[in-house]
Amino acid sequence: MRPLRIAIFGFGTVGSSVARILTESKPQGLELTHVFNRDVTRKRVDWTPANIIWSEDADAVLASDVDVIVELAGGIDPAGSWVRRALEAGKSVVTANKKLIAFHGIDLERLAARKGGHLKYGAAVAGGIPVIPGLEQGLVGDHIERIEGILNGTCNFILSRMQEGAEYAPVLAAAQAKGYAEADPTEDVCGFDARAKLAILMRLAMRVQIDPEEITPRPITTVTAVDFSYARDLGCTIRQVARAEQAEGRLAATVGPMLVALRSPLAWSQGTENMVIASGRYGGDVVFSGHGAGGHPTAVAVVSDLLALAHGSRRVEIPYAPAKIAGEFEVPHYIRFLVSDRPGIVAAITGALAGEQINIRAILQKPGYPADALPFVVTVEPCKSSALQRALASVRAMDCMLVEPLDLQMLE
């Protein structure tokens, strides 16, 4: 068997780790032949086999006799056009590009099938944790009704540090210093990255094809140290969670910071770890956890996909149905207010909630905060976010409200 000839597009942390594993482990059937990067001379290393072609000419590499393009540049452009051209030429593609797969994965898979190539993206969700093969192979016989995931290592690093008492801004700065967060952290902290990954998991687990933009993610930037303090009093911590549920034919999906019980698996994940819980009608909950990001773990998923291609392992093709996000979760909520204290605030809030038939579970006000910047918390019994937002509309307009009330779903 002739080995698969492999070109890496994008020689950053992950690309370099892929080259490292291919060079050190020499997996049977794989041969690294090309590395493409802009300004490639500054990327060149001396520990790869000498006969590799280092190129800054994407066209030339795409036109060469390579069998597989490993796309690690990320983003929609120009990565998407490289992927498309490789598939058009009948080559296969292995990618870690969640955005491209979330928004264009179905088209690209059809293109691959038409041209005789294959598209694999095991590294696109939860890097080194085999969630995608687990769903595609091991759980395909179940009917997955719910997915809950910690899918963004940057947010998990920030929130698990805040759990220990830190505030958002210095932790973000530390994450940036360690290379865990980008200079512009928007994609991560505002939930766009996790949303793309959730859309991919929904496709594989629930067999629905959604437009990711139907999910409005909520940022973690509004969570403060005081929220972790109140969360602890409630036996909880705070994590960025991506969730989807399929119940009675209605699909619900949401991404954002949420309260999770300290004894729940979601609270186990520390630092940049990722976790996915898939709940099946027949098999119950399955938990996958590990290092979701980073060069080496992500590279393991890439090399595993390459080996699957080399050994003729094909995925189980289950048809997807297009679907709309039409449902809403009915869960308890945590609402934290920051007010300049005056009489009547609690009465106004409780009245507004009662007007939407929302039952209050608890009102918490810890001592030790100044009256002109007083945080307090209301938790409510399971209700729809839309009802809660209607109830909060009048409250949020009160001039004593110093910031927008922070509304977090509580996972039980």
Instruction: Determine, following the binding rule CB under 8 A, whether residue 316 of this chain makes contact with a copy of itself.
Output: yes
**158, 240, 255, 257, 354 from 152: Cα distances, Å:** 10, 8, 11, 11, 36
| Amino acid in the structure at residue 157 | F
Which of 31-39, 139-147, 185-193, 368-376 is the region at the interface with a copy of itself (rule: CB under 8 A)?
A: 139-147
β-bridge partners, 208: 321
* Site size with a copy of itself, rule: CB under 8 A: 56
Among 1, 47, 51, 314, binds a copy of itself (CB under 8 A): 314
Contact 10, 74 (CB under 8 A): yes
Among 146, 239, 291, 333, binds a copy of itself (CB under 8 A): 291
Instruction: Determine, following the binding rule CB under 8 A, whether residue 3 of this chain makes contact with a copy of itself.
Output: no
Catalytic residue among 26, 115, 197, 324: 197
Does the annotation mark 197 as catalytic? yes
Residue 276 CB, nearest approach to a copy of itself (Å): 11
Instruction: Determine, following the binding rule CB under 8 A, whether residue 53 of this chain makes contact with a copy of itself.
Output: no
Which of 40-48, 136-144, 186-194, 358-366 is the region at the interface with a copy of itself (rule: CB under 8 A)?
A: 136-144
Among 165, 179, 249, 312, binds a copy of itself (CB under 8 A): 312
Among 174, 262, 308, 403, binds a copy of itself (CB under 8 A): 308
**C-alpha to C-alpha distance for 197 and 123, rounded to whole angstroms:** 10
State the pairing for strand pair 360-364/374-384.
Answer: antiparallel
Contact 96, 298 (CB under 8 A): yes
Residue 265 CB, nearest approach to a copy of itself (Å): 7
Instruction: Determine, following the binding rule CB under 8 A, whether residue 15 of this chain makes contact with a copy of itself.
Output: no
* Tokens encoding 393: 């509309």
Instruction: Determine, following the binding rule CB under 8 A, whether residue 358 of this chain makes contact with a copy of itself.
Output: no
Of 258-277, which residues contact a copy of itself (CB under 8 A)? 265, 268
Q: Which helix (H) or strand (E) holds 393?
A: helix 385-396
Of 197-216, which residues contact a copy of itself (CB under 8 A)? none
Q: How far apart are the first and last CA of the chain?
A: 52
Comparing CB distances to a copy of itself, the nearer of 186 and 282 is: 282
Instruction: Determine, following the binding rule CB under 8 A, whether residue 2 of this chain makes contact with a copy of itself.
Output: no
* Tokens encoding 14: 């992950």
**C-alpha to C-alpha distance for 305 and 65, rounded to whole angstroms:** 20
Residue 287 CB, nearest approach to a copy of itself (Å): 4
Instruction: Determine, following the binding rule CB under 8 A, whether residue 305 of this chain makes contact with a copy of itself.
Output: yes
Q: What is the DSSP string of 109-170?
A: HHHHHHHT--EE-TTTTTTTS-HHHIIIIISTTS-EEEEEEE--HHHHHHHHHHHTT--HHH
**C-alpha to C-alpha distance for 192 and 18, rounded to whole angstroms:** 26
**C-alpha to C-alpha distance for 148 and 33, rounded to whole angstroms:** 39
Instruction: Determine, following the binding rule CB under 8 A, whether residue 248 of this chain makes contact with a copy of itself.
Output: no
Comparing CB distances to a copy of itself, the nearer of 302 and 338 is: 302
CB within 8 Å of 94: residues ≥ 6 apart: 68, 69, 70, 71, 120, 121, 122, 123, 302, 305, 306, 309
Instruction: Determine, following the binding rule CB under 8 A, whether residue 95 of this chain makes contact with a copy of itself.
Output: no
Among 4, 132, 201, 215, binds a copy of itself (CB under 8 A): 132
Catalytic sites, residue numbers: 197
Residues that bind a copy of itself (CB under 8 A): 17, 21, 25, 27-28, 122, 128-143, 265, 268, 280, 282-291, 296-297, 299-308, 311-319
